Chain A
């Protein structure tokens, strides 16, 4: 039997009313019910009409990065396409993922996410989409090695493009700790009794375990004695004054000399150095390398997002953002002239191969996430 469409259904209804088969109250009641049903489903129907895109939402870390995006990518994009970019900010990837999970599809579109962990996590939560890289020609300028981890997770199509990279190395106040001492002690300086109550650390469980592995002489991507790592974390916990939770807090603790040594994000330490603070930065062997990406979330208007990603990957935008946030862009320095400042940034790799950096194996780390993040919560509290 042929399925009746709505127009035919309404025409038949009207005909029955005109013929006197249906009283006026029933006719109006049925029309009202149809209107109500349309009203209820409209908020959800808008996602199915994504072709008529009027705005795209972008979420990032705020500050100078957002300003650079606004000036070099969002406004030119709006001028060319007529599509408005609404930008929001978040203070942490975990908090943002919790928001995305609680949202309706299409509510969040593009996010500036941390590393490969998030890519894998979003994929596990079925939040990936399929980008057509032909619509993002600037992706050709990106360091090839940064694409590989994403391809390993979603071999058929990517849901993100790499955007920048950096390291979580050792930051130290040179008034109290010399460069020589730092090179000699490396990651073990974070469990040196001599600096009790002057040591800091990021409250992130991955970083704590990564550095616990370095302090116990293990490969962070293949830890064999986890108990030894937990003991190192306990040792660090007892010597640390404070676990910091944001880049601003990290910078404040170091600048105010509340702590003398901690792990730190390369870009934030570069910003402190720019401000004139005598803070050293050292990447010990197997220092924690990471990359950030521009991720398109499932349910977003893909073509509009692809066009925006291309604007954001354009060298003038990427370089401006990189100079603002002090992290090298994902662009290959052998293909693009990155200017004067970027080659001086910590963690910058001029070869375009990133051989000098150690990245976390997402499969290994995400596979242990549930157990390790929970155990860390207990170890942190004295267990």
Chain B
């Protein structure tokens, strides 16, 4: 075998474990879901094997699914904006801090050591009728009766921000940390104020990190179903809750498959758009 041929094969040999894992654990199950989406749930409960377009027709034409999907995108969008507004200053502070950067990064990682469900449920103890916030407000005399703060769309967004904020901070931090601070000094020496040097130098250079964090927050937020279940009221649901209900409660795997693919296509399209204009390299840096 020639050296060229061997060199051409080498990347594939090195990639083969990862490709096998992705193929078996992601691609093959995904194909099962695609096949399932064309089956039908019979009245008796068992699945009717065949090629039926009913599930797709229902998922694409029913206003119910469209409205919940739009609401999901709205909630994910608001969450992403809040994460960006809260995350950027925190990331800036960490990136510009001198000696205690490792400690701050460690603190940023701490929430990942606790289960996401536990973190979400902790808000019940904070915002509940007999929770910490109501108790504090009543103790200092600001209110006489506890305020009903839980189980609405605002608490769902709050729970999502709590879950996703570290992802945003990490991505922005990676971006800010890579910016040469001499650039800001140069801008200042040329007469720019600190605010101007931030707006015209630092912020534009850190936008790829902000976009990567935004994409992660949006995709993860749009795909969640735990937060609305724990912190939402009877009406609050995101699209993933409909998938959960179709598959787990109604045992309608074919419809659930069609719905999950629909969400996958919408979120996949966003990732493609991001990749088209910004590239995945920045996202990899943030995740790395």
Q: Spell out A's residues near B (CB within 8 Å).
A: 92, 94-95, 97-98, 101, 121, 124-126, 197, 201, 203, 205, 237, 240-243, 245, 252, 256-258, 366, 369-370, 373-374, 377-378, 380-383
B234 A370 Cβ-Cβ under 8 A? no
The contact sample of 25 A-B pairs, CB cut-off 8 A, is: A94-B248, A95-B248, A97-B251, A124-B44, A124-B45, A124-B46, A125-B46, A126-B46, A197-B148, A237-B234, A241-B148, A242-B151, A243-B234, A252-B124, A256-B124, A256-B129, A256-B130, A366-B45, A369-B45, A374-B250, A374-B252, A377-B245, A377-B250, A378-B64, A381-B68
Classify chain B's interface size. 20 to 34
Smallest beta-carbon distance B175→chain A, Å: 39
Q: Please give, as numbers and ranges, the residues of chain A lying within 8 Å of B271 by CB-CB distance.
A: none
Residue in contact with B233 in the complex, picked from A121, A242, A374, A383, CB distance below 8 Å:
A242
Q: Is B41 an interface residue (CB 8 A)?
A: yes
Smallest beta-carbon distance B248→chain A, Å: 5
Docked CA distance A381–B248 (Å)? 17
Number of A-B contacts (CB under 8 A): 73
Q: Smallest CB-CB separation from A197: which chain B residue? A: B148
Q: Contacts A125-B46, A241-B148: A257 and B130 contacting too (C-beta < 8 A)?
A: yes
Q: Contacts A97-B251, A124-B46: A382 and B151 contacting too (C-beta < 8 A)?
A: no
Q: Is B242 an interface residue (CB 8 A)?
A: yes
Interface majority SS on B: helix, strand, loop or mixed? loop
Smallest beta-carbon distance A304→chain B, Å: 28
Q: Is B98 an interface residue (CB 8 A)?
A: no
Q: Is B83 an interface residue (CB 8 A)?
A: no
Docked CA distance A101–B247 (Å)? 11
Q: Is B211 an interface residue (CB 8 A)?
A: no
A383 B249 Cβ-Cβ under 8 A? no
Residue in contact with A240 in the complex, picked from B130, B234, B237, CB distance below 8 Å:
B234
Q: Please give, as numbers and ranges, the residues of chain A lying within 8 Å of B249 by CB-CB distance.
A: 94, 205, 373, 377
Q: Contacts A125-B46, A382-B235: A370 and B64 contacting too (C-beta < 8 A)?
A: no
Smallest beta-carbon distance A367→chain B, Å: 8
Which of A92, A382, A383 counts the most chain B CB atoms within 10 A? A382
Q: Contacts A242-B233, A258-B129: A98 and B45 contacting too (C-beta < 8 A)?
A: no
